[in-house]
Structure 1
Amino acid sequence: MHINILYSSNENYTRHAAASLYSLLENNTHINKISIYFIDDNITEESKQKLQSVVDSFKRQIYFIPIESLLVKFKKKDDFPLSGYARLFISNKFTNVDKILYLDCDTIVTGSLEELWNTDIDDYLVAGVQDNPAMYMSEIIGMNRKSRYINSGVMLMNLKYWREWDIENKIIDFVDKFKGEVPHHDQGLINGICKDKILIIHPKYNMMSQFLLYNVMQIKSLYNIENYYTQQSLDEATKTPIIVHYISKFYDRPWFTGCTHPMKGLYTDYLSKTTFDNKMYPSNQSYKVKLRKWVYNNLPFSIFGRLEKLLDIKRRRYISEKYNYLNIL
């Protein structure tokens, strides 16, 4: 078996990528061949050598791809990192690769990826775990209440199909439609363009923070979602995740001193096995997030839910005004 893995990072996230990479390789020694493709957004030679040492210790291969070789025609106006967009332009660069598993740098792999890799995606552009954006964020990119919107932090990508569907040019056109500022950045692009060809996979392959915070009924109520996972699936994901994704939510990230994520130890343990430093940073959570967190922790969920609905009115108004030229919301 030969598995292709994709990461994309600038210098700031290389140590997180190293922790993720180490966890992936340590928990998949049974796989015959693993090829790591790493999109390089101005990473220093020192950091690349440290990443190389992780891969060398497991006798695997890593290929660094200069980011400028991927974004020739891409133009954006938002402040989202280019490395987050670059992964959408690999299908024509890697013409000898038909399938690849993309992982965000802020993930930790805790088990075998064999079952995920063997998922049949011949009839799909991408497979991923369902996320829960506000409904207006789905509507603005052409989805609806019944649509199943995926998180882009873990994606099994059918590159052969991407080439056949000319997805890279569709991305350029989609960005132009939104004048360089697509809602939810790369995630909005993926869902807006691939919405009819997305396969939803088990949440254990992208165990996000909201699965720990809310039950299924709470998620469906907060985000006005019709089609979602069962409670059993979420319970399986939180008890035995294969990939942990450290989305901040109320926990903060595991490299911040105030992180309360119950699985932060996985990140720190794997980081300690690399040659990157393990420096912790002060929390950068806004006062608004801290206030919402206090309400969540100290008041009944019904009150928290009403507060979130009120905040959504303001957020929807902002999005509606920003994209009023589309006449969608």
Structure 2
Amino acid sequence: MYKPLVIALVGDYGYIKQIETTIKSIIYHNHDCKIYVINPDIPQEWFFLANQRLAIIHCKIIDKKILPKTLAKEFAFLDQVSVVAYAKFLLPRLLSDSRVLYLDSDVIVNNSLTQLFYQDLQGHPLAAVEDYDEHNGHFNSGVLLLDLDHLRRIPNFVSQALKLGQDRSLKNADQDVFNHFFKDDYLALPLADNYQIGMDSIAYYHSKIKPYLLPKLDSVTQPVITHFLTIHKPWKDFSSGRLRELWWQYYGLSWEDAVYNRPLPLTQPNLYKRFFTFLMTEETGRLVDLAKACPQYEFNVATWVPVGPKIHKLLQYPNIHVYEHIVGRQIEELVKHCDAYLDVDCPVKEHHVLKQFAQHQTPFLAFANVADHYHHYPNYRVFDDDDLQGFIDALKQI
């Protein structure tokens, strides 16, 4: 008789699209799964409708309800962390299984979980991946392989953990509590088992004080589980970091698509050419005019800082993509696939970025009123301010 994978997630109905997306990624790569969702308020109809579609692959999503007051006193300092995260401490009480793979609901599963789930814990109560950012021996609590029998043998583990979770000095909520108990007694998993991609922004903007972060991120080429940590979540209008489109591909699957392992959908239309503009201010020049005139081309826009309403409004155009708080690896990818740099916004330039395009022999096109007249970039063409059609014709000829 087969033994299904036992997986647990926690969350409330406000997080249902994230929970659903994570589960779709699980069943896309894994059949024969028992998936618990620990929650205070997800309607039973959601479970019924989902399970109708999953029965054919021997997967079942199990509703485990908790009372909101159970976690009412727990402390969560970070905006991206809800007190419901502390529900993972209830797993030894709520489940009868011997072990469970706990997953945060901001992860995407990229492969089979069988090897991870069935590995030998070597007597440890849990297995986890080190926290990329902490760099102090602590593990990240977003992916945990838990020996529930072991946890049940620890006197008053659940009540002690919940009591510690009320400490107002906690920096990383439930993660700090788990590390309080087990930082010296866990099986270290490979980085690929919890690829903490949300650290991209920290790795780039704090590279001098955290030089270890980027090498860790770059060392993972085939993640088993991708974890979108920090506030830069892919489901927001803007997010900094790699693999945003991966989350949306799984979000875009229907239950039937996931069950039958159909190809992941495109998240953007296939456009013929790609252009790039780096904005130093809210001024966008004639960028919108160009995008409207060339709907078959992709216009990528980036900034170092949070965008204001004027740039945010660009998102209404399907061929304009905005990168807020852009990071180095994103710039490298955009340079690699750029057909022309459009210097159309304002006289102030970010030459650190422009030089990367110049080194890649990317053509530059500019309007006269904002053109750069000092750095003499190669392949730099300047158009009169009223020659919009000439600019458009040049784009089409590239």
CA contact (8 A) 1:253 1:261 kept: no
CA contact (8 A) 1:74 1:172 kept: no
Deviation of 1:159 after TM superposition, in Å, equals 0.9
CA contact (8 A) 2:44 2:63 kept: no
Report Cα offsets for 1:103-139 as digits up to 9, x if no partner: 11111111111111122214212211111445xxxxx
TM-score (norm 2): 0.57
Residue 182 of structure 2 aligns to a residue in which SS?
helix
Task: For 1:48 and 1:153, locate their aligned partners in 2 and report how far apart those are by CA, in whole Å.
Answer: 23
TM-score (norm 1): 0.67
Note if 1:191 corresponds to 2:191: no
Specify the alignment match of 2:342 in structure 1. Answer: none
Specify the alignment match of 1:171 in structure 2. Answer: 161
1:222 to 209, 213, 217: 209
CA contact (8 A) 2:304 2:326 kept: no
- Structure-to-structure mapping, 1:1-329, within 5 angstroms: 1-29=3-31, 33-53=32-52, 55-56=54-55, 58-68=57-67, 72=70, 75-78=73-76, 80-94=81-95, 96-133=96-133, 147-166=136-155, 167-175=157-165, 178=167, 182-209=170-197, 212=200, 222-223=209-210, 231=215, 234-237=217-220, 239-248=221-230, 252-274=232-254, 290=306, 293=325
Q: Cα 1:268–1:172, aligned 2, differ >3 Å: closer, same or farther?
A: closer
Residue identity matched to 1:246: F
Deviation of 1:211 after TM superposition, in Å, equals 6.1
Larger radius of gyration: 2
Residue identity matched to 1:18: E
Specify the alignment match of 1:310 in structure 2. Answer: none
Residue identity matched to 1:200: A
CA contact (8 A) 1:40 1:67 kept: yes
Higher relative contact order (CA 8 A, sep 6+): 1
Deviation of 1:172 after TM superposition, in Å, equals 3.5
Q: Cα 1:188–1:54, aligned 2, differ >3 Å: closer, same or farther?
A: farther
Unpaired stretches in structure 1, ≥5 consecutive residues: 135-144, 281-286, 301-329
Task: For 1:158 and 1:207, locate their aligned partners in 2 and report how far apart those are by CA, in whole Å.
Answer: 22
Residue 90 of structure 1 aligns to a residue in which SS?
helix
Task: For 1:170 and 1:49, locate their aligned partners in 2 and report how far apart those are by CA, in whole Å.
Answer: 35
Report Cα offsets for 1:260-304 as digits up to 9, x if no partner: 5432222222222237xxxx9xxxxxx99749946978799xxxx
Deviation of 1:40 after TM superposition, in Å, equals 1.8
Q: Cα 1:157–1:149, aligned 2, differ >3 Å: closer, same or farther?
A: same
Report Cα offsets for 1:211-258 as digits up to 9, x if no partner: 656879x87x63598xx9x95x75452x21111111246xx3221232
Q: Cα 1:41–1:148, aligned 2, differ >3 Å: closer, same or farther?
A: same
CA contact (8 A) 1:8 1:83 kept: yes
Residue identity matched to 2:121: I
CA contact (8 A) 2:198 2:228 kept: no
Deviation of 1:158 after TM superposition, in Å, equals 1.2
Residue 86 of structure 1 aligns to a residue in which SS?
helix
Q: Cα 1:299–1:129, aligned 2, differ >3 Å: closer, same or farther?
A: farther
Task: For 2:52 and 2:191, locate their aligned partners in 1 and report how far apart those are by CA, in whole Å.
Answer: 31
Task: For 1:8 and 1:157, locate their aligned partners in 2 and report how far apart those are by CA, in whole Å.
Answer: 15
Residue identity matched to 2:62: Y
Deviation of 1:171 after TM superposition, in Å, equals 0.8
Deviation of 1:209 after TM superposition, in Å, equals 1.8
Residue 160 of structure 1 aligns to a residue in which SS?
helix
Unpaired stretches in structure 2, ≥5 consecutive residues: 256-266, 268-302, 308-323, 332-349, 353-398
Task: For 1:88 and 1:53, locate their aligned partners in 2 and report how far apart those are by CA, in whole Å.
Answer: 30
Task: For 2:90 and 2:305, locate their aligned partners in 1 and report how far apart those are by CA, in whole Å.
Answer: 33
Specify the alignment match of 1:142 in structure 2. Answer: none
CA contact (8 A) 1:22 1:54 kept: no
Deviation of 1:150 after TM superposition, in Å, equals 1.2
Task: For 1:16 and 1:49, locate their aligned partners in 2 and report how far apart those are by CA, in whole Å.
Answer: 18
Task: For 2:62 and 2:245, locate their aligned partners in 1 and report how far apart those are by CA, in whole Å.
Answer: 29
Residue identity matched to 1:157: L
Across the aligned residues of Structure 1 and Structure 2, the Cα RMSD in angstroms comes to 3.7
Aligned residues: 265
Specify the alignment match of 2:360 in structure 1. Answer: none
Q: Cα 1:41–1:269, aligned 2, differ >3 Å: closer, same or farther?
A: same
Task: For 2:141 and 2:58, locate their aligned partners in 1 and report how far apart those are by CA, in whole Å.
Answer: 28
CA contact (8 A) 1:19 1:274 kept: no
What percentage of aligned pairs have identical amino acids? 20
Report Cα offsets for 1:185-217 as digits up to 9, x if no partner: 11111111222212221111111125656879x
